[in-house]
Amino acid sequence: MVEEIYMRRPIMAGNWKMNNTVSESVELVKGLIEKAEGTERDFVVCPPYTALYTVSELIKGTEIKLGAQNIHFKEKGAYTGEVSPLMLKELNVEYVIIGHSERRQYFGETDETVNKKIKTAFEYDMKPIVCVGESLAQREGGIAEPIVKGQLVNGLKNIDSKDAERVVIAYEPIWAIGTGRTATSEQANDMIKFIRSVLAGIFGKEAADTVRIQYGGSVKPGNVKEIMAQSDIDGALVGGASLKVDDFAQIMNY
């Protein structure tokens, strides 16, 4: 059992959200490159679209990997304001955040669009970071598990179990995002164990054991060690604290 846990390579990802101009992105990523040397973990930065090209050029040959914050499911066409998988692929984007709660809440993302986008990511050889998580009302109402299960079952519909090892799941309780209120590491670990059991139902146990599951929601240098010490947590998806070199470097190298 312990061996299986160590086989999953930790993945620490920074979701910059709608922050950082190109010049701010350059400064941040240059700082991170230095701090990432020689790592055996996966470090991912997810800049806004406008900075993707510049960041992509800067990180060539370094330990920092590139992620996008969204993707469209069509290759091209009349979809004003959207960015296609082809465009991302050309910039060496390796990971794509899909179904972040902010996109579900403000931009009409549903489990159905999440499902289409995951399939698109695979078609273009990118790895999805699929976000799931319950609201405070849902947790207090005792329905956190069925909500998360529904997001997984519908979001991962018709995904082949041979693709499971390319999937990253980010468990992000909505009430812990940007609020300074972290789930206790035990709460996070319990839900992540539950997520893996749901994945076993979808993909089979062996494939489910290859999926990396991150925790996200107010991860900071001060709490990352405790979170990463949990038995089932394979990484973190970090918002606010990924915007400062020192903070994110401490998180990467917890």
**Catalytic positions:** 100, 172
Tokens at residue 31, please?
A: 């700082």
Minimum separation from the CB atom of position 242 to ligand PGA (A):
7
Separation between Cα atoms, residue 46 and residue 44, nearest integer Å: 7
Phi, psi of 196 (to 5 degrees): -65, -35
- Of the candidate residues 69, 240, 247, 251, the single one contacting ligand PGA (CB under 6 A): 240
Under 8 Å between Cβ of 191 and 144: yes
Binding mask 134-173 for ligand PGA (x = CB under 6 A): --------------------------------------x-
Is residue 79 left, alpha or beta, with left meaning phi > 0 and alpha meaning psi from -120 to 50? beta
Minimum separation from the CB atom of position 238 to ligand PGA (A):
5
Minimum separation from the CB atom of position 2 to ligand PGA (A):
28
Pick the closer one to ligand PGA by CB: 12 or 241: 241
Minimum separation from the CB atom of position 236 to ligand PGA (A):
8
Pick the closer one to ligand PGA by CB: 99 or 217: 217
Separation between Cα atoms, residue 100 and residue 121, nearest integer Å: 15
- Of the candidate residues 239, 247, 248, 252, the single one contacting ligand PGA (CB under 6 A): 239
Chain residue whose CB lies nearest ligand PGA:
239
Minimum separation from the CB atom of position 95 to ligand PGA (A):
13
Pick the closer one to ligand PGA by CB: 203 or 212: 212
Residues 196 to 235: which contact ligand PGA by CB under 6 A?
Answer: 216-219
Name the site residues for ligand PGA (rule: CB under 6 A): 15, 172, 177-178, 216-219, 237-241
